[in-house]
Structures are given as C-alpha cells and as structure tokens.
Amino acid sequence: MSDDNREPILRIRGVTRRFGGLTAIRNVTIDVPHRSIFSVIGPNGAGKTTLFNCITGFYRPNEGEIIFEGRPIHGLRPDQITKGGIARTYQNIHLFGGMTALENILVGMHSRLESGPVNAILRLPDNRAEEDAALARAYELLRFIDLPDVGDMIASNLPYGSQRRLEIARALASSPSLLLLDEPTAGMNLQETDDIMHFIRRLRDERGLTVLLIEHHMELVMNVSEHIAVLDFGQKIAEGTPEEIQNNPRVIEAYLGAPADQLHVGAAQKPAATGETAHGAA
Ligand SMILES: Nc1ncnc2c1ncn2[C@@H]1O[C@H](COP(=O)(O)OP(=O)(O)OP(=O)(O)O)[C@@H](O)[C@H]1O
Ligand SMILES: [Mg+2]
C-alpha cells in the first residue's frame, strides 16, 4: 500500500490539558503522516512535553481525542500505549543508571516479550529461545546506535551523548511504529547534534518509523523535518513545511526576545532554550 493513501498514523483532535487553573495545551489538532519526520517546536513552557505526555498516556486529555493507527488511545495506560506501538524518550534522560546498557534495552523490550521483564533479565531457562532472540536483538540495537561495545557497561558511566542514544535504543526495543523524541540533542555539542540528525533520518529511512520530534535546535529541525507544528502558550499557532514556518510572521513573533534569525537554517547561534530549563513531567 502506498503511504500517501493511508490515514495519518497519529491524529490529535482538539486536545486540551489543564493543570488546575493553567491550560498547558488548548484545543490542539495535529495530523502526523505515516513515515514522516514531524517536529513540534515552540518556546519554553509552550506545552510540547505535555502533548507528548498526553499521547503516551502519562496524562489524560481533559478534552479531545488521540487516534493512533485508526484507534482511539486517549484513556489507555502508558504500558498499553507502548504495547500498541508508540515509544518515547524523555527530555531528561530516563535510564536505569545502575544497570548495564544491555539490561536497559532488555527492559525496554519487555512489552513485547511473552515472559516479561523479570524472566528476560534473570534469564530463566524455560524461555531460552525467546531470551536468545531478545539478546540478539539487543545487540543489534546497540550496533544500530553505533555503540556496539558498551553492552556490559553501567549506563550511568556512559558519556552523556551515548546515554541519550542508549535511551533511543531502549525505546526502539519495544518495536514501535511511532517514536517520540523529546529534545534528543539537549546538552549535546555540535558534532553529537549532527550525528543525531543523521540518526533520525535513518530511523525513518531504514526502519520505516514515523518520528515525532520536540527540538529547540532550529538548524536540526529545519533540516530534518517534513512538517512542523508550532505551539505557543499551549495553542498551535502555525503548521507547515520548514520553509513556511521560517517565513511565518506569527512564528517569528513567538520567538522574539531571542535572535529572530534563529529560525533560519544556518543560524550560527544555538537558541538559548534547552532541556536544562525543563520542568514538570519531563
Ligand atoms: N504536571 C504538571 N503540573 C502543573 N503544571 C504543569 C505540569 N506539567 C506541565 N505543566 C505546565 O504546563 C506548561 C507547559 O509545560 P511543558 O513542559 O509541556 O512545556 P514545554 O513546551 O515542553 O517546555 P520546555 O521547552 O521548557 O520543555 C508549563 O506552564 C508547565 O509549567
Ligand atoms: Mg518540554
């Protein structure tokens, strides 16, 4: 089937999420096409992570619906949503710091294993075939993230950039069709950021994934995305191609206060906003 004829893999319809008197996202509607790289951008506090938390079941929308591969998922638990094919990484790295890189990936795999995480980790003999397959796949994921030799290393001892990549591998371990990346380059240097950009392309081109990306690094966003939605104070203020977004007056206005040319590819300066200012359920 041609991807062009398919329904969007993810439809966010009129989603609102409030925290007490604060409306973190208001009536947001976004369609994410199959096998696209789709970015959500916006100033700090715009509601980007809250949107991810609604998609992944960490928060229930107060209003609206979220349809994944044709089925409503709002109201499902996070583990049900993971099992259904959506995986994520976090603005602040979530790994089991005391476990090895390999064990972190095996834990990520547990939603797809019949025997569950305990057997997978304890390597109980009644699931030998499944366990061998899981280990082979975990090593394959380590190769895919270009960290083939770190399997036995304790996650918290890995360099920061490698931990971010390991988190992506952990997310991939659940065999998602949709991957949500919340500021994957936060805290990275330019070379690491460039590596992540190529890596995001490979996720789509080689693995057929759809990637929904939150990112403050505008050069990466403009280079890698086919579609961009812009949130500001919880509302979607623009949507379009990178070129359309860079020339949209409302978007430029929303980013004023920082250099206006930060929206343009080739901008020498990294935007001031990074994951280090993260808050809430990041
Ligand atoms: N659990 C929560 N309880 C109360 N307020 C929250 C909660 N989570 C988020 N918020 C608020 O909702 C708004 C949107 O936050 P969110 O983290 O979604 O923004 P963001 O766009 O991801 O920002 P950043 O770029 O800084 O990560 C903020 O005002 C934030 O303080
Ligand atoms: Mg955020």
Q: How far is the CA of 24 from the centre of ligand 1 (A)?
A: 6
Residue 273 φ/ψ, nearest 5 degrees: -75, 130
Query: Which pLDDT band holds residue 281 (cuts at 50, 70, 90)?
Result: very low
Mean pLDDT of 44-69: 97
Q: How many CB atoms lie within 10 A of CB 79?
A: 12
Residue with the larger pLDDT of the pair 153 and 120: 153
Residues in the chain: 282
Q: What CATH number is attached to the domain comprising 235?
A: 3.40.50.300
Q: How many CB atoms lie within 10 A of CB 27?
A: 14
Residues 180 and 78 in one domain: yes
Residue whose CA is at the smallest distance from ligand 1 atom 9: 280
Beta carbons of 106 and 99 less than 8 angstroms apart = no
Residues 153 and 259 in one domain: no
Question: Taken in order 116, 119, 125, 128, is the CA torsion positive or negative?
Answer: positive
Domain encompassing residue 272:
3-85+176-277
Query: How far apart are the C-alpha atoms of 238 and 263, rounded to whole Å?
Result: 14
Ligand of minimum distance to the alpha carbon of 40: 1
Residues 81 and 103 in one domain: no
Question: Does residue 118 belong to any structural domain of this protein?
Answer: yes
Dihedral, 113, 118, 122, 127 alpha carbons, nearest 10: -40
Residue with the larger pLDDT of the pair 114 and 219: 219
User: Tell me, what's the pLDDT at 65?
Assistant: 98
Q: How many CB atoms lie within 10 A of CB 67?
A: 17
Residues 53 and 187 in one domain: yes
Q: How far is the CA of 122 from the centre of ligand 1 (A)?
A: 38
Residue whose CA is at the smallest distance from ligand 1 atom 11: 24
User: Tell me, what's the pLDDT at 8?
Assistant: 97
Ligand 1: atom nearest CA of 52 is 18
Question: Does residue 170 belong to any structural domain of this protein?
Answer: no
Query: How far apart are the C-alpha atoms of 91 and 281, rounded to whole Å?
Result: 9
CA atoms within 13 A on the CB side of 81: 27
Question: Does residue 163 belong to any structural domain of this protein?
Answer: no
Quick check: 34 pLDDT over 90? yes
Residues 115 and 216 in one domain: no
Quick check: 255 pLDDT over 90? no
Instruction: State pTM to two decimals.
Output: 0.87
Query: Which pLDDT band holds residue 118 (cuts at 50, 70, 90)?
Result: low
Kindly state the percentage of the chain with pLDDT values over 90. Answer: 72
Question: Does residue 222 belong to any structural domain of this protein?
Answer: yes
pLDDT digits (tens, 9 = 90+) for 140-168: 999 999 999 999 999 999 999 999 999 99
Query: How far apart are the C-alpha atoms of 169 and 257, rounded to whole Å?
Result: 36
Residues 108 and 80 in one domain: no
User: Tell me, what's the pLDDT at 152?
Assistant: 95
Quick check: 273 pLDDT over 60? no
Residues 270 and 181 in one domain: yes
Ligand 1: lining residues by beta carbon, under 6 Å: 19, 22, 24, 42, 44-50, 91, 273, 277-282
61, exposed or middle or buried, with CB in 10 Å at 0-12, 13-18, 19+? buried
Residue with the larger pLDDT of the pair 129 and 276: 129
Mean pLDDT of 192-209: 94
In this structure, which residues have their CB less than 5 angstroms from ion ligand 2?
Answer: 48-49, 91
Ligand 1: atom nearest CA of 183 is 27
pLDDT digits (tens, 9 = 90+) for 212-241: 999 999 999 999 999 999 999 999 999 999
Residues 154 and 197 in one domain: no
Kindly state the percentage of the chain with pLDDT values over 70. Answer: 83
Domain count, the chain: 2
Mean pLDDT of 19-48: 97
Q: How far is the CA of 271 from the centre of ligand 2 (A)?
A: 14
